[in-house]
Structure 1
Amino acid sequence: MKILDKLFGRYHDESVIEYTLVNESGMSVSVLNYGCIITKIMVPDRNGKIENVVLGFDQIEDYIDLAPYFGSVCGRVAGRISHSQFELDGEVYQLTPNEGSNHLHGGKKGFNSVIWETESIETENAVGLKFFYRSIDGEEGYPGNLDTTIVYLLNNQNELSISYEAVTDKKTIVNLTNHSYFNLSGNIKRDCSEHILQLESDRFLELGSDLIPTGKLIDSTNTPFDFKHGRLLKSGIKSDHPQNVLAGNGYDHPLIFAKKGENTVALSEKESGRTLLVTTDQPCVVLYTANQLEGPYSISGVRARNYLGVCLETQGLPDAINQPDFPTIVLNPEEVYRTTTKYRFFSNTIGV
């Protein structure tokens, strides 16, 4: 196992380094110190052909200018915050709006667009990277100095784990995730409509016209949001369900896990034979089928279009700070925010 590094570009006169974690099983993961961005995940298909299974760019300027959050860590708070504001202990905090009047994925200077301090990790069974960033009191409108540490660790079982930890010196809110767009066909040979998703979830959050949860949980049984027995993503993309149509013909929805504790999401693509198992301790996964990806640019030589990838954003419930019935995302000074999500790749398929 080894760690390689190379200069990827410059950002505000700082070096952007691409680190590549390599295991002994034919898998590698490339990550930037800018935004903790995963640029590539190289894994074999059923025939042993190693290809990239995430969307990414080849130069730093595209990550800065186009900003579809490819592979990045989103924070301080992932997802949308209604009207870019929230209240804590009677004080109203105004955040930076960056999607109309709403605040998305941490704002204009979110965790996806800063340089992180980086430290290599090498053990007998894994290689990895430890990233650190201090978000100062008032950054993007958030209270408290927040010290965040994120660890990416790759082992020989083709498993990448991402561990998040944060502490604050003032009561604040935190909800972190990774925003990788997966495409298991390899090197974007096909879109994600034929991917099969399976997870134990019986409810999802209803979205309003601004894609922010209304607070209502909807029973997913016998709907395009029922993934208990495996479902092709195209069934939601082509669905006339009002929530699929509202999201831009597809998914952009928080799926609530049926049980508390550790849960697993399975994503597979039959033609390549690849399967991804995502295991998390978070209460939900936001399923996004890249319904708004189309644009006048290319991704590794492929013209950007909708449905080229699928995001599985494990996190606390979006806009939880403005929904009193949702599990809290408040972090107190005496507490430690701590969560882990693991991504393990196989060369087989799950049934539909």
Structure 2
Amino acid sequence: MKRFTTAAGIAAMALMAATPAHATSSKRATFGTMPDGRPVGSVTLTNAKGMSATVIAYGAALQSVIVPDRAGQKADVLLGYSDLQHYLDKGQYFGGTVGRFANRIAAGQFTLDGKRYQVPVNDGKNALHGGTQGFDKVLWQIVSVKDGATASVTLRYVSRDGDQGYPGTMTVDATYSLGENDHLTIEYVATTDKPTIANISNHSYWNLSGEGSTNGAMGHRVTIPAETYLPTDAGSIPTGAFQPVAGTVFDFRTPHVINDRVRDASDQQIAFARGYDHNWVIGKTVTRDQHMMAKVEDPASGRGFELWSNQPGLQFYSGNFLDGTTHGKADRVYRMGDAIVMEPQIFPDAPNQKGFPDARLAPGQTYRNVMTYRFTTGAGAN
């Protein structure tokens, strides 16, 4: 065997040992320009297995996720747009970071430390996903991009005191990372200078057959390890009850194809939401470590993922209000059931509900929501 005997050879060996066999790379670009002239950056993370994720600074949004199927054919499995103007005109939360308070607040009102606050009402009588100009509708700053065994991009937004009616100046970091193991992680970290409420999540719409596929997402198999879920009123505000899933169309403790029960209007909850748009109770508090929230499999393509997070609640939405008025990256019309959304978070309307996780964030505390999509290929067709 030939050996390195020179100083240069020894240095080369050290460099080889220090360099990983595979690395995930990042590529920066400009996705568009805001009406006021500010550029909107994008970062694409790509691993050696052919998986990639593109993040845009508008809304700190996940704009594309490309994953090979069981035959190695790549497809974008995320609904969204090819250009910035469509996000500005009709964002529909596609891939966006939603907050300060993801999901709904009844009547847009909550009390914090004895003071009543009113935030914008933008979903019937209720507030949804932070208000009329939530985190998904603002331009974030790209503050860090890293390559390596796990590549990442971190974006930051500073929400000033009184923004959308919320108290306190909140600084939020959103970090997207992709590893060679096909794990895509989204981490939200927030701090505040005065007491406020926080519930930040990601609103990606998934179709594992591909966003341009003729297959919708209703053929996906879903598992959710929850014993109870939160029934709602007609306005999608939780009643406060913890309803057992056993014997109902909400029981996903064993795998079920979504389409088998998503239109079962004999259940009043399905009739209210036109399908699934409910919070499953995975736990009662935010945890330090992640736990499995859901498993999704697409028998048609073989693609799947496990979703892990440290959050107690999972909002599962079956794309009930995709109405055919939107067309996406593949120039195909998005219809009801063409995608699903799974948002790890605390519970809807938590600031107004006894027995729900605490949404309060105080100075000196750090809010953290971390979620990981563990992608796989090769799921069976049966």
Asked if 1:196 is matched to 2:226, the reply is no
Once the two structures are overlaid, the 10-residue window that deviates more, 169-178 or 185-194, is: 185-194
Give the structure 1 partner of residue 189 of structure 2: 165
Give the structure 1 partner of residue 280 of structure 2: 255
Give the Cα separation in 1 of the matches to 2:64 and 2:334. 17
Instruction: Return 5+ residue gaps in structure 1 as ranges.
Output: none
Give the Cα separation in 1 of the matches to 2:85 and 2:252. 37
Point out the structure with the larger strand share: 1
Give the structure 2 partner of residue 272 of structure 1: 301
Give the structure 2 partner of residue 6 of structure 1: 29
Give the Cα separation in 2 of the matches to 1:238 and 1:278. 24
Give the Cα separation in 2 of the matches to 1:4 and 1:187. 23
- Equivalent positions of 1:38-117 (< 5 A) are 38-117=62-141
Give the Cα separation in 2 of the matches to 1:323 and 1:314. 18
Note the C-alpha offset of 1:273: 0.5
C-alpha distance 316-350 of structure 1, shift in aligned 2 (>3 A): farther
Give the Cα separation in 1 of the matches to 2:188 and 2:315. 17
Give the Cα separation in 1 of the matches to 2:51 and 2:356. 38
CA contact (8 A) 1:200 1:258 kept: no
Task: Give per-residue Cα distances to partners, 1:192-230, cap 9 Å, x unaligned.
Answer: 110000121010001111011111111101211111111
Q: TM-score, normalised by structure 1?
A: 0.96
Higher Rg of the two aligned structures: 2
Q: How many residues align?
A: 351
Once the two structures are overlaid, the 10-residue window that deviates more, 122-131 or 221-230, is: 122-131
Give the Cα separation in 2 of the matches to 1:247 and 1:351. 30
The one-letter amino acid paired with 1:221 is A
Note the C-alpha offset of 1:350: 6.8
The one-letter amino acid paired with 1:207 is T
Q: TM-score, normalised by structure 2?
A: 0.89
Give the structure 1 partner of residue 360 of structure 2: 330
Give the Cα separation in 2 of the matches to 1:212 and 1:288. 14
SS in 1 for 2:343: strand
C-alpha distance 228-258 of structure 1, shift in aligned 2 (>3 A): farther
CA contact (8 A) 1:42 1:50 kept: yes
- RMSD of aligned Cα (Å): 1.5
Asked if 1:244 is matched to 2:270, the reply is yes
C-alpha distance 335-120 of structure 1, shift in aligned 2 (>3 A): closer
Give the Cα separation in 1 of the matches to 2:227 and 2:376. 26
Asked if 1:288 is matched to 2:317, the reply is yes
Note the C-alpha offset of 1:351: 9.0
Identity %: 34
Give the Cα separation in 1 of the matches to 2:251 and 2:206. 20
Give the structure 2 partner of residue 36 of structure 1: 60
Give the Cα separation in 2 of the matches to 1:123 and 1:303. 36
1:306 is matched with which residue: 310, 320, 336?
336
The one-letter amino acid paired with 2:347 is L
C-alpha distance 17-121 of structure 1, shift in aligned 2 (>3 A): closer
Give the Cα separation in 1 of the matches to 2:380 and 2:201. 25
Note the C-alpha offset of 1:258: 5.6
Give the Cα separation in 2 of the matches to 1:194 and 1:102. 31
